[in-house]
A and B are shown apart, each in its own frame.
Chain A
Amino acid sequence: MKVELEYVTTEDDEKATLKVREVTENIKSAVDMLENNCRSLSAVKDNETYMIRTDKIYYVESVDKRSYVYTKENCYETRYRLYELEEMLNADYFRCSKALIVNIRKIKSVHSELNGRMNAELLNGETIVISRSYVKDLKRKLGL
């Protein structure tokens, strides 16, 4: 697809027009990125496909080579592998264990445990584990 950029002086004048033959997943994602400043990814729940905005995702988990996306109240399955999601998701996310990537903005608080790992309480009340070896990454991500 050809991309043309035209510079304008004010934010009000900013506008994107896409000329497409069909609305693919990438196009939907691009629209979300432009409209909401975040991308979306496709995921399935009860045989229906949904586009999940990445800012609505709490965490992503890999179980038996399948990846699941968790939002505030729902769980969806996605075709992407965890390492692909790690590349797709923005800087708000970090890998907190071998099988889990969490959205830092959805962490309410963390509590350290005797064995060096941390428990993270999320805004929806769920608790996930941050492995000892990934605590350093979290601190780096937060600029500590």
Chain B
Amino acid sequence: MNKLKLVFNQTMMVSSAILFGLGLEALITHFMGDDKYFEWQWYIPLSIIATGFLSSVPSILLVDNEKLSKRQAYVRVILHFFCVWGIVMGCATVFDWYDTVAGFLIISLMYVVIYFFVWAASWWLMKSDEKKINEALEGIRDEE
């Protein structure tokens, strides 16, 4: 159940991140080239959700990593990074999201930025929890 919930949450998160990336690209295009409108093929919104879902599946790799050593956990994260990158770029190719090398590079760059942003945000939240917990423990800790 936890795994299903994780995949669902990740699908929502990745789909939103892709939409955010596309929105950002459209915004930049608008300011650079004065494009007021751009068209999407009928399947693009669904392809975003499909990519979100497929790229969430490898997250299952990271679910049961609590018993792993720090080194093994890092290896899994690196594996996850490349695995998801392969899925995103595979989907981008199949769904015809790019047609030039520059397009390929832009999507790859967007992926890297979003991936690290999500990790950095998660890390910041964890550190924030750590700080709050340590402050709360300060008040109730026994003297030894």
Contacts and interface: CB of A to CB of B under 8 A. Distances in A.
Interface string A108-132: 1111111111100001100001011
Interface residues of A, number: 29
Interface string B101-144: 00000000000000000000001001101101110110011101
Contacts, number: 64
Contact of A117 (B66, B74, B133, B141): B66
A138 B140 CA distance: 13
A110 B134 CA distance: 6
B66 A104 contact: no
Main secondary structure of the interface of A (DSSP, over half): mixed
A142 to B, nearest CB: 4
Contacts of A115: 62, 65-66, 68, 73
B68 A112 contact: no
Nearest to A110: B133
B70 interface: yes
A139 B132 contact: yes
A104 B130 contact: no
A63 B129 CA distance: 30
B54 interface: no
Given A142-B136, A143-B136, A144-B136, A118 B141 contact: no
Main secondary structure of the interface of B (DSSP, over half): helix
Contacts of A111: 130
Interface residues of B, number: 22
B133 A144 contact: yes
Interface in A45-69: 55
Interface string B55-78: 000000010011010100110010
B48 to A, nearest CB: 27
B66 A132 contact: yes
21 contacts: A92-B140, A105-B140, A105-B141, A106-B141, A108-B137, A108-B141, A109-B134, A109-B137, A114-B70, A114-B74, A114-B123, A115-B68, A117-B66, A123-B141, A129-B66, A135-B129, A138-B133, A139-B129, A142-B136, A142-B140, A144-B133
